[in-house]
Amino acid sequence: MKLIFIGAPGSGKGTQAKMVSETFNILHLSTGDILRSEINSKTDLGKKVEHYTNSGNLVPDKVMVELIGKIISEKKCRNGFVLDGYPRTIGQAKSLHSLFIKLNFKLDKVIFFYIDEEILIERLSGRYVNPKTGATYNLKYNPSIKEGICDVDSTKLIRRVDDEPNKVKDRLNIYKIESDSLRKYYMEDKDKLLEIDANNSIKSINEKIIKNLSYDD
């Protein structure tokens, strides 16, 4: 199963992508996580993208297209994956379409997550992550047992640089512009589109997605 999840930062798409990938035993490919790991490991790619990512701007299409092209062409992706955070632009969407044709892959579903902006800002400003595993907590909605410490491996939780309040607004604005055109692009193949009200609970959203994907199978 090959899936694309599109949603604003903080819309919960990453949480759902993880859950869905576990349910269907497919890979969870989060471009944000991949880039952060490159940055932490100080690779050439990490050094190239750090400036964009830390400031909340998009990494140029050329870099992203090459990165995703490499990853998706790997054998481990044949069985399926959830793309979380990709595509983010029409250029990326078009090149992904060509890549699917080249690899003879079928796109099963594109899932859009919609959520109110006030909730987003509240979620992002209370979000803390484990820099080693990417596990996410929220001060209000999903706090760790011991404040500032990961429940699973006791790593000190940090706030992502791009979750700082002055960067959040910019990221949301960028998202709005790009996601409008992505929605139009994917509307052309309506059967593949699933639109989710992401203001609902994690559990009910997950049930809706799983039901839809199981039904389509």
Residues that bind ligand AMP (CB under 6 A): 9, 31-32, 35, 52-53, 56-59, 64, 85-86, 88, 92, 162, 171
| Nearer to ligand AMP among residue 24 and residue 86 (C-beta) | 86
Q: Which of 36, 109, 127, 167 is catalytic?
A: 127
Instruction: Answer yes or no: 123 catalytic.
Output: no
Nearest approach in angstroms of CB 160 to ligand AMP is 8
Instruction: Answer yes or no: 183 catalytic.
Output: no
Q: Are 178 and 93 in contact (CB under 8 A)?
A: no
- DSSP-assigned beta bridge partners for residue 40: none
Residue 211 structure tokens: 């039901």
Q: Which of 2, 36, 88, 123 is catalytic?
A: 88
| Nearer to ligand AMP among residue 43 and residue 214 (C-beta) | 43
Instruction: Answer yes or no: 127 catalytic.
Output: yes
Residue 4 φ/ψ, nearest 5 degrees:
-125, 130
The 3-state DSSP class for residue 129 equals strand
SS (H, E, C) 50-111: HHHHHHCCCCCHHHHHHHHHHHHCCHHHCCCEEEECCCCCHHHHHHHHHHHHHHCCCCCEEE
Nearest approach in angstroms of CB 56 to ligand AMP is 5
| Nearer to ligand AMP among residue 120 and residue 205 (C-beta) | 120
Active site residues: 13, 88, 127, 160, 171
